[in-house]
Amino acid sequence: MKTAGFPVFAAAALVMALEVCGPRLLAPAFGNGTLVWSVILACTLLAMGAGNLLGGFLADRSPWQVPLRLALMGGALSSILTALLTGPVSLGLSDAFSPQPSSQLSALFLACGLLFGPPAILLAAVYPLAFRGALAGVERAGRTVGALYAFSALGSLLGALAPPLWGIEVLGTRDTLWAFAMLPLLAAIGWPALVVAGLLLVGSLWPRTLPPGVLERWESPLASYVLEGDQESVQLRVEIPMRPVLSTHPLRMGGNTYHEEMLLAWGLLKSAPPSRILSLGLGGGTIARLAREAWPQAEIHGVELDPSLLERTWERFGLGDLGIQAHLGDARAWLRRLPGTWDLVLVDVSVGATPPAHLSSREFMTEVREHLSPDGMLVVYAPPPLNVRLLGSVQAAFPQASMLERVVVGSRRPLDPNGPRLLAKELGWVHLEGRSLKMHLPPPGAPLTDDQGDFPWWWGMQ
């Protein structure tokens, strides 16, 4: 049992780490929705079933020690190859297949089978081989199986929690898989694997040379970020795990962005300037800075989910100097937690292909309405094809709902289509004078709900 427990622990930890890190590795080609994770799980489970059969066949042959070591080493090395090759292989398959949703689904299954199947087969073969080595007699078979399942559960626990809590942010996704691959190698060959793991850790933490113009690059469990610029201008590039969505947040206002459209939507009410503004999805703080410039006397709060983003951009982008109050955590939770009502609630949480389901539902829009002042307004960033479903959710909660360019608005009061152009002129945003800023009302889609609130799976692949 002493020699069998750690191999099972190591194999289970690596399999779970593959499942946790897999969506991040496949995201540049296929997005990061629920379907991607489901396909990874399905392919991994099928492969593990085959690996269990293979391991059982080999365990009945003598000797079993050599197949056990080969399964551990093969599972570790194939996982390293998965970490290295997932990017080019998944992108190549995605480009090789038709952009039609059914074709992309086939490409996703093929990529998962090729990349995650081999390590899952080899690591799953460890279980029956380890059981064969630990079994001392039929009378202790039950305790032996129970103990090995306990080791497997502990390994899975490590693989489930360590990557998102520590590995991805400190090491990165690929190096996290490298680190977990050292566990089966350690079980197979002993101390030489520790030397390799030590070299890997030193290499991962060693300062890396950044390309010209890049001030900082980091990765979190939510996204990858790049700070670019010089002494005069700094930009935050958010590399959401989805191709080719990039969000750029300039330090200085300029250009023509959807952030300005979100603020100009306030003109639809033709009201006095808002006194309390809540930005859900603070990001780099672009919309909060624009709101401070537009309405200097307003009380502005922002909510951001990613602590690494808030920590790095707070001082660099000067949000604290502008009197903006930031809160770390989930947007819906902070909406309920913060006291008072709001004149303007801005929702910009469309990271990747689609916004989170719980921030797109009819119930969420209703909660926002309950936290608005009588003359308040909800503004949601909703690029196509998301706009019709989000419009349906907003219409289900507000008596007045419409769209202004790329944003959905909801209010209790009637909306004036001429208001945004007048507000742009009032704020001195001359670069928007040529824009139509039209209010339009496309046929809304069915509202999303908390119970059935996900977008169609193929939207993650568009």
Q: Which residue matches tokens 């090759």?
A: 85
Exposure class string for 357-381: b at 16+ Cβ within 10 A, else e: bbbbbbbbbeebbebbeeebbbbbb
Residues 426-458 pLDDT 10s:
998 877 766 778 888 888 878 888 876 555 544
Q: At what angle do helices 2-30 and 65-96 cross, to 10 degrees?
A: 10
Length of the chain: 462
Instruction: Find how far residue 14's CA is from the centre of its chain.
Output: 21
Question: pTM here?
Answer: 0.71
CATH number for domain 2-205, candidates 3.10.180.10, 1.20.1250.20, 2.30.42.10, 3.40.1500.10 = 1.20.1250.20
CA distance to 41, 344, 377, 403, per residue, from 269 (Å)? 48, 11, 8, 13
Domain with CATH 3.40.50.150 in the chain: 256-461
pLDDT at 112: 96
- Give 84's contacts (C-beta < 8 A, 6+ positions apart): 174
CATH number for domain 256-461, candidates 3.40.50.720, 2.60.40.3140, 3.40.50.150, 3.40.640.10 = 3.40.50.150
pLDDT at 355: 76
Domain with CATH 1.20.1250.20 in the chain: 2-205
Judge whether 163 and 176 are in contact, CB under 8 Å: yes
pLDDT at 173: 85
CA distance to 88, 257, 355, 390, per residue, from 358 (Å)? 33, 26, 9, 12
CA distance to 150, 412, 422, 462, per residue, from 377 (Å)? 53, 8, 18, 30
pLDDT at 354: 65
pLDDT at 461: 46
pLDDT at 233: 64
Q: Which residue matches tokens 């001359």?
A: 430
Q: What is the dihedral of CA 168, 174, 180, 181, to 10 degrees?
A: 180
d(CA 313, CA 195): 37
Residues 101-155 pLDDT 10s:
788 889 999 999 999 999 999 999 999 999 988 876 666 778 888 889 999 999 9
8 HSE (CA, 13 A, CB side): 26
Judge whether 449 and 363 are in contact, CB under 8 Å: yes
d(CA 337, CA 201): 41
Block mean pLDDT (10 aa), the chain, length 462: 82 96 83 82 96 93 85 95 91 85 88 97 95 75 87 95 86 87 89 68 62 75 72 64 38 58 93 96 88 95 89 78 90 93 92 72 95 96 83 95 93 93 88 76 83 55 45
pLDDT at 204: 55
